[in-house]
Amino acid sequence: MSNKDTTLAPADSNRLFPNIRIVLINTFHPGNIGSVARAMKTMGLSELYLVAPKQFPAEEATTMAVGADDILASAKVVNTLHEAIDDCALVVGTSARSRANPWPVKTANEAAQQIVAESKTQQAAIVFGRETMGLHNDELQRCNVHVYIPSNPNYKALNLAAAVQIICYEIFLAGGTKSDYKQQVTEYSTKKDMDYFYEHLEQTLRDIGFIIKAHPGKTMLKLKRYFNRTRPELLELNMLRGILTAIQTAAHKKPKHDD
């Protein structure tokens, strides 16, 4: 059952979106910074900006990053949101709550499409707020677009890394990078194989008296419907034919196709 995991990875699938940065404001728990780095890397994002984190670098961040420590190592720590987004043409703010300010609001999916499209030529940032209270109004007002993650209206407690995970997932999907999960190409039975099989099956059912010549009924129609719908693979079909032959032998009847 061994199967080499031959990846179709692009040249640098750890850095698929060099112009898209994730900005975290005032992160309180350093472990969350590590979890965010991991979430980013699973989806090919690499640019992390930390605005006045409570503690960074931190051992807990490295522990939670699990192999995404390269993202922590290259993370930029700045003092103000301004420094983190100064060179960005598109700034997207994340918000779980309805706000009084009318503002262009997009779903994660819609925002990801826009971010990926615009980031081909310009810098884009997605800004995440504090663990407890998200972004302040004045921070949201500095964004071009607000994004929200559709979720249970009675329990909007997505944690920081989970929110980053979903946004990055949508960005990965929008980026259109081929995953390497290859479906094994299955060798199915041909129509001809199936015809031989049906002949064999019908003969066997007659041999054992399940189908009676005088009253054939709709047995074969129903069986053909079943097998056509479930599409046996060639190996499976050969096995089924082996079973039919064994049945015929046991019933002391000579298989018809051996004539």
The nearest distance, CB 232 to a copy of itself, in angstroms, is 12
Q: Tell me how far apart the alpha carbons of residues 99 and 134 are, in angstroms, rounded to a whole number.
A: 12
- Smallest CA-to-CA distance from 201 within 189, 211, 191, 213 is with 211
Site for a copy of itself in 5-34 (CB under 8 A): 5-10, 13-14, 16
Stretch that binds a copy of itself, among 94-102, 192-200, 214-222, 239-247 (CB under 8 A): 94-102
If binding is defined by CB under 8 A, does position 63 make contact with a copy of itself?
no
**One of 32, 114, 165, 204 touching a copy of itself (CB under 8 A):** 165
CB-CB contact of 28 with 61 (8 Å): no
Stretch that binds a copy of itself, among 119-127, 179-187, 192-200, 221-229 (CB under 8 A): 179-187
Tell me the residue type at 172: F
If binding is defined by CB under 8 A, does position 198 make contact with a copy of itself?
no
**One of 3, 79, 121, 230 touching a copy of itself (CB under 8 A):** 3
N residues, the chain: 259
> What is the DSSP code (8-state) at residue 156?
-
The nearest distance, CB 92 to a copy of itself, in angstroms, is 15
If binding is defined by CB under 8 A, does position 179 make contact with a copy of itself?
yes
**One of 22, 25, 160, 161 touching a copy of itself (CB under 8 A):** 161
If binding is defined by CB under 8 A, does position 200 make contact with a copy of itself?
no
Angle at which helices 191-207 and 234-250 cross, to 10°: 20
If binding is defined by CB under 8 A, does position 222 make contact with a copy of itself?
no
If binding is defined by CB under 8 A, does position 44 make contact with a copy of itself?
yes
Cis preceding linkage at 150, omega within 30:
no
Residue 186, both tokens = 């299955």
| DSSP β-ladder status, 90-94 and 20-25 | unpaired
Residue 105, both tokens = 């609001």
Task: Give the CA distances from residue 82 to residues 51, 86, 125, in Å, rounded to whole numbers and listed in that order.
Answer: 9, 6, 12
Q: Which residues bind a copy of itself (CB under 8 A)?
A: 1-3, 5-10, 13-14, 16, 35, 38-39, 41-44, 66-68, 97-103, 105, 107, 109, 137, 148-159, 161-162, 165-166, 169, 172-173, 177, 179-186, 233
